[in-house]
């Protein structure tokens, strides 16, 4: 379902449909299938000194009576001012076993896409957090900790990335 807001088109998450589909599926596998990374020269700062953005989107890759496969793509960018410090991109494949065959065939493709966008991100988020933190550290950017992902009440227009920003934190003053 799409809803028009001032200067913004969003898709409202149908939580009832998500819950019904979630009751008939079981997460079977999460697999990293593509990854690229880039550091622009030697990294001389920590994650706390950067502005960080994570973008992600997903969709259905395959559906059958007994299985649902989706993809979740993500990108991570750490910047200082306008200078890009670390860039990461990747795609996870997420596989669900379907316990009630009729449940998936009866679902509209929009509901399945929303399911993958919401539940797929929820299920892959720990893997995204780990791969971003460990890869950024290997590139020299230590201390990357992505926040906990929460199910949004709305999604961006189909095909667009959702975004989560983590602005630079101000240095703490020493405690006396």
Could you read off the pLDDT of 125-148 as tens digits, one per residue? 999 999 999 999 999 999 998 888
* Residue 117, in any domain of the structure: yes
172 pLDDT tier (thresholds 50, 70, 90): very low
CATH number at residue 9: 3.10.420.10
Sheet arrangement for strand 67-80: 25-39, 83-98, 67-80, 51-64, 162-166
16 part of a folded domain: yes
Domain range enclosing 74: 2-166
DSSP 24: T
- Contact indicator for 75, 58 with CB cutoff of 8 Å: no
Residue 175 within a domain: no
Please tell me whether residue 137 adopts helix, strand or coil conformation.
Answer: helix
Residues 77-116 have pLDDT tens digits of 999 989 999 999 999 999 999 887 656 666 677 788 888 8
Is residue 119 a part of any domain in this protein?
yes
* 41-53: average pLDDT: 89
Which band of pLDDT confidence, cut at 50, 70 and 90, is reported for residue 156?
A: low
What is the pLDDT, as a whole number, of residue 4?
44
Does the residue 176 lie in any domain? no
Residue 160 has pLDDT above 70, yes or no: no
Instruction: Give Cβ neighbours of residue 117 (< 8 Å, ≥ 6 apart).
Output: 57, 58, 59, 155, 162
Question: What does the alpha-carbon distance between residue 15 and residue 23 come to, in Å, rounded to a whole number?
Answer: 12
Query: And the tokens for 66?
Result: 């007994």
Q: What does pTM read for this prediction?
A: 0.80
Which of the residue ranges 13-27, 53-67, 117-131 has the most confident prediction, judged by mean pLDDT? 117-131
Looking at residue 8, the DSSP 8-state letter turns out to be E
Token readout for 122 is 């929820």
Give the sign of the dihedral formed by CA 21, CA 26, CA 31, CA 33. negative
Q: How many domains is the chain built from? A: 1
Q: Is residue 173 part of a domain?
A: no
Pairing of strands 8-12, 25-39: unpaired
Across the chain, which distance is largest between two alpha carbons, in Å?
64
51 within some domain:
yes
């Amino acid at each position: 379902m799409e809803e028009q807001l001032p200067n913004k088109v969003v898709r409202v998450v149908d939580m009832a449909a998500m819950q019904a589909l979630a009751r008939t599926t079981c997460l079977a596998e999460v697999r990293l299938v593509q990854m690229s990374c880039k550091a622009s020269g030697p990294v001389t700062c920590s994650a706390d000194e950067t502005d960080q953005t994570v973008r992600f989107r997903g969709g259905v890759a395959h559906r059958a009576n007994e299985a649902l496969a989706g993809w979740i793509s993500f990108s991570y960018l750490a910047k200082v001012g306008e200078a890009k410090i670390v860039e990461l991109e990747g795609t996870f494949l997420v596989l669900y076993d379907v316990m009630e065959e009729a449940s998936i065939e009866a679902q509209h493709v929009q509901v399945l896409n929303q399911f993958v966008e919401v539940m797929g991100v929820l299920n892959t988020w720990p893997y995204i957090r780990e791969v971003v933190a460990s890869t950024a550290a290997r590139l020299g950017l230590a201390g990357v900790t992505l926040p906990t992902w929460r199910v949004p009440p709305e999604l961006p227009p189909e095909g667009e990335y959702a975004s989560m920003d983590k602005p630079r934190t101000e240095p703490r003053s020493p405690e006396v």
